[in-house]
């Protein structure tokens, strides 16, 4: 059966993932909050929105599954609401191809009104207005945002006389709005307070100045770097694999022959073929452009979305669906109308015609390439802080593989004779990829499990499921199980046998991970498997490697003062693969672990912890212009804490500080060799001991 309509799932997933790109903040909507006195003890809380040209926000009345409806709530002391909130402004209605339905939105201006009265007409009322909305233009949508506004109203007087603006309680200046606290204000704070403030709501610690550490021993500041060439290579390998699938391989000789046969000008035919290959490369690179266009959303948003429980569950479902397609139970296809339009455009001839020939190839091969590209997309989105460039390199590698094959065969058409003939082996490639998709799907489910703190998928269970998948792959390759498109009596080639033996070898490799040991195993899978302490043999509350790190900076400060030790701040995340690699294969080293166990107070701060803060620890971020953003979760707090104090939002990120909150030496980020991390630790610890 064909699920042509199911194309909306990966496309919509692609659309929403593009919202999660790091960069500078875009703020195309400005709000003004006022309160109008209506008489007879009735008032109206009015929030007016002004949008930059081209931007819009959705109405509260949009249909389900067609965007984020605007929600406006008013509450406060001595306040009683009258009816529901209303919208004011010119509504626009359009059909959205992306959502497959009608959307209702406001452009330029919009107003939201809520009537209320004072419960006690002789006393003032504190009015709190909260709006949740999403902003979009013709190219991108920004992540949904929630803002809060506060005003006080007294029973008498006009609007101007009755209304005064009060700052949000427990608020701090937003690092997102100002990037960093200015040096002037930092110096002023340092003068006022020479020690770290121990207020749980405090985000900016006055004594912390990572630019001026107490010593410059050890290494220079090490920042995490993305290995773009690795993604280029992975994309290239993915492109080569895609060429071997039934959707693409049979088209190679047909396409090359089109350019090299039946043309009077052989040279022109080869030039056109090379141009065809170039356009294939160009089209795949162009697929990454949306990620660069919206490179204006805060990096913290990307981290939040990539570690979202629901997003990872969606990835899990999508990858399972991809696997079913590769197994041959159904096809994932784009609408035939898209391919037909592209195919008709080929008739234009010349360079334009060649471009649309390349585009047609990309579209009609989506059934096989879609899951492979989806794997690259999922890997980049959930494993990196720089999605746009990684995807550009990955997609460039994918397109480069196709361009090289088509280009070289056009230059040397005689090589076509050496290509293997189409046959059942191509379906074997697809089925093998199906098993790979199953294995990758479990990674996303595991991340959702970790972030939600359910800890149901233990390390051993994860390994056991992978063992079952690897055994299934081996049985398939040896012809013991079949799928819908397999031959009834498949020929078991030596290639299948060799890969099957490798699958059995992988099973043997995995089995050692089921046996408890003092030293971590399965180094090749570090960062993919659940952490060491999420195990049937350990309790996740028992810490890691015999250590029980503090998960609160302020608790760690108090403990460090009592024990007279420096604090190692470990900015980490449940979904951080490089964090797991550092823990398992650097922290566990015999010349590193004793330092962590004996010489420092370890504070592991999880920036993706979705657990809500206690009410007395929740705070607010002042965005300016009367706009306030709430800090509701533990992850919110430590993510903003990292940005405010260290101007960094990557994990892992390590900082050594004294008990009075002063940075000892240069912080380091990312996965690093043991020698570099040891040098960083010994530098800071030795300095602290000498100057204690």
Given a contact cutoff of 8 angstroms between Cβ atoms, the answer to whether 345 and 356 are in contact is yes
Q: What is the pLDDT of residue 64?
A: 60
For tokens 């013709």, the residue is 138
Which helix H or strand E contains 118, and what residues bound it? strand 109-118
Burial class (CB in 10 A: 0-12, 13-18, 19+), 583: buried
Ordered mean pLDDT values, 10 residues apiece, the chain (692 residues): 38 37 55 88 91 83 71 90 90 63 82 91 87 69 69 66 37 40 36 43 80 75 58 86 80 71 64 83 85 51 60 84 85 58 55 80 73 67 61 87 82 74 78 88 84 82 94 92 82 88 92 77 75 74 76 91 93 77 84 91 87 80 60 83 81 90 88 87 91 80
Query: What pLDDT score was predicted for residue 501?
Result: 94
> In the chain, which residues fall in CATH 2.60.40.1250?
16-166
Query: Using CA atoms, how far apart are residues 31 and 143, in angstroms rounded to an integer?
Result: 17
d(CA 153, CA 78): 10
Structure tokens at 512: 């050692």
Fold exhibited by the domain 170-226+545-692 = Glutaredoxin (3.40.30)
Q: Which fold has domain 16-166?
A: Immunoglobulin-like (2.60.40)
Q: What is the rounded end-to-end Cα distance, in angstroms, of the chain?
A: 72
Q: Report the pLDDT value the prediction gives residue 405, as an integer from 0 to 100.
A: 86
Q: What is the per-residue pLDDT for 474?
A: 93
So what's the pLDDT on residue 297?
Answer: 44
Q: Are 644 and 178 in contact (CB under 8 A)?
A: no
Strand partners, 29: 51
φ/ψ of 362, rounded to 5, equals -60, -40
CA 277, 278, 279, 285 torsion-angle sign: positive
Backbone CA torsion sign across 442, 446, 447, 449: positive
Task: Give a three-class secondary structure readout of 406-467.
Answer: HHHHHHCHHHHHHCCCCCHHHHHHHHHHHHHHHHHHHHHHHHHHHHCCCCCCCHHHHHHHHH
Residue among 626, 625, 649 at smallest CA distance from 636: 649
From 655, 639, 653, 640, select the one nearest 560 (Cα to Cα): 655
Single pTM value for the model: 0.51
Q: 338: exposed, middle or buried (C-beta count within 10 Å: 0-12, 13-18, 19+)?
A: middle
Q: Where in the chain is the domain with CATH 3.40.30.10?
A: 170-226+545-692
d(CA 422, CA 433): 18
Q: What tokens does 48 get?
A: 């007016």
- Print burial letters for 391-405: b (CB count within 10 Å at least 16), e (below 16): bbbbbbbbbbbbbbb
The reported pLDDT for the residue numbered 17 is: 37
Compute the distance between CA of residue 377 and CA of residue 584 in angstroms, rounded to an integer. 26
Rg for the chain, CA atoms, rounded: 29
């Amino acid at each position: 059966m064909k699920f042509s309509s199911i194309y909306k799932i990966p496309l919509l997933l692609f659309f929403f993932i593009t919202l999660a790109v790091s960069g500078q903040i875009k703020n195309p909507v400005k709000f003004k909050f006022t309160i109008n006195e209506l008489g007879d003890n009735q008032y109206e809380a009015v929030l007016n929105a002004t949008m930059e040209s081209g931007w819009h926000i959705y109405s509260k009345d949009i249909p389900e599954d067609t965007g984020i409806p605007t929600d406006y709530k008013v509450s406060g002391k001595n306040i009683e609401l009258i009816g529901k909130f209303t919208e004011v402004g010119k509504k626009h209605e359009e059909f959205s191809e992306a959502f497959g339905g009608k959307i209702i939105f406001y452009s330029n201006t919009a107003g939201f009104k809520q009537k209320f009265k004072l419960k006690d007409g002789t006393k003032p009322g504190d009015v709190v207005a909260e709006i949740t909305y999403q902003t979009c233009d013709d190219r991108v949508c920004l992540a949904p945002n929630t803002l809060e506004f506060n005003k006080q109203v007294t029973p008498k007087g006009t609007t101007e006389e009755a209304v005064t603006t009060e700052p949000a309680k427990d608020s701090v200046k937003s690092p997102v709005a100002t990037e960093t606290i200015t040096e002037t204000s930092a110096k002023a704070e340092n003068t006022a307070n020479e020690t770290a403030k121990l207020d749980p709501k405090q985000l900016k610690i006055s004594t912390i100045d990572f630019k001026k550490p107490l010593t410059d021993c050890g290494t220079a500041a090490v920042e995490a770097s993305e290995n773009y060439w690795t993604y280029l290579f992975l994309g290239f390998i993915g492109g080569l694999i895609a060429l071997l699938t039934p959707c693409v391989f049979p088209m190679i000789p047909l396409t090359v022959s089109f350019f090299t046969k039946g043309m009077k000008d052989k040279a022109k035919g080869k030039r056109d073929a090379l141009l065809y290959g170039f356009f294939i490369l160009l089209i795949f690179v162009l697929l990454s452009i949306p990620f660069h266009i919206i490179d204006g959303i805060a990096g913290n948003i990307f981290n939040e979305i990539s570690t979202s429980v629901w997003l990872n569950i969606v990835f899990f479902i999508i990858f399972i669906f991809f696997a079913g397609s590769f197994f041959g139970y159904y096809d994932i296809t784009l609408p035939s109308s898209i391919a037909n339009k592209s195919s008709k455009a080929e008739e234009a001839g010349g360079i334009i015609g060649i471009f649309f020939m390349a585009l047609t190839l990309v579209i009609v091969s989506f059934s096989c390439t879609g899951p492979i590209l989806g794997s690259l997309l999922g890997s980049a989105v959930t494993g990196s802080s720089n999605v746009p460039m990684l995807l550009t390199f990955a997609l460039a590698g994918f397109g480069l593989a196709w361009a090289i094959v088509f280009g070289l065969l056009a230059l040397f058409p005689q090589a076509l004779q050496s290509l293997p003939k189409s046959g059942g082996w191509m379906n074997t490639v697809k089925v093998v990829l199906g098993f790979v998709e199953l294995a990758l799907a479990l990674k996303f489910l595991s991340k959702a499990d970790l972030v939600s703190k359910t800890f149901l998928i233990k390390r051993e269970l994860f390994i056991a499921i992978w063992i079952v998948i690897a055994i299934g792959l081996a049985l398939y390759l040896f012809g013991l199980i079949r799928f819908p498109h397999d031959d009834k009596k498949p020929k078991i080639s030596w290639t299948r046998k060799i890969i099957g033996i490798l699958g059995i070898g992988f099973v043997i490799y995995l089995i050692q991970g089921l046996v408890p040991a003092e030293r971590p195993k399965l180094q090749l899978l570090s960062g993919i498997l659940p952490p060491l302490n999420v195990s049937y043999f350990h309790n996740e509350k028992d810490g890691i490697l015999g250590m029980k790190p503090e998960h609160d900076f302020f608790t760690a400060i108090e403990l460090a003062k009592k024990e007279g030790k420096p604090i190692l701040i470990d900015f980490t995340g449940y979904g951080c693969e490089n964090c797991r690699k550092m823990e398992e294969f650097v922290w566990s080293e015999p010349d590193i672990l004793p330092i962590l166990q004996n010489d420092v107070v370890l504070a592991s701060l999880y920036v993706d912890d979705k657990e809500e803060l206690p009410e007395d620890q929740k705070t607010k971020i002042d965005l300016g212009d009367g706009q306030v953003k709430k800090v509701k979760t533990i992850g919110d707090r430590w993510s903003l804490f990292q940005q405010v104090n260290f101007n960094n939002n990557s994990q892992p990120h390590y900082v050594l500080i004294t008990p009075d909150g002063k940075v000892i030496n240069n912080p380091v980020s990312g996965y690093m060799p043991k020698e570099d991390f040891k040098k960083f630790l010994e530098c800071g610890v030795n300095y602290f001991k000498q100057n204690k």
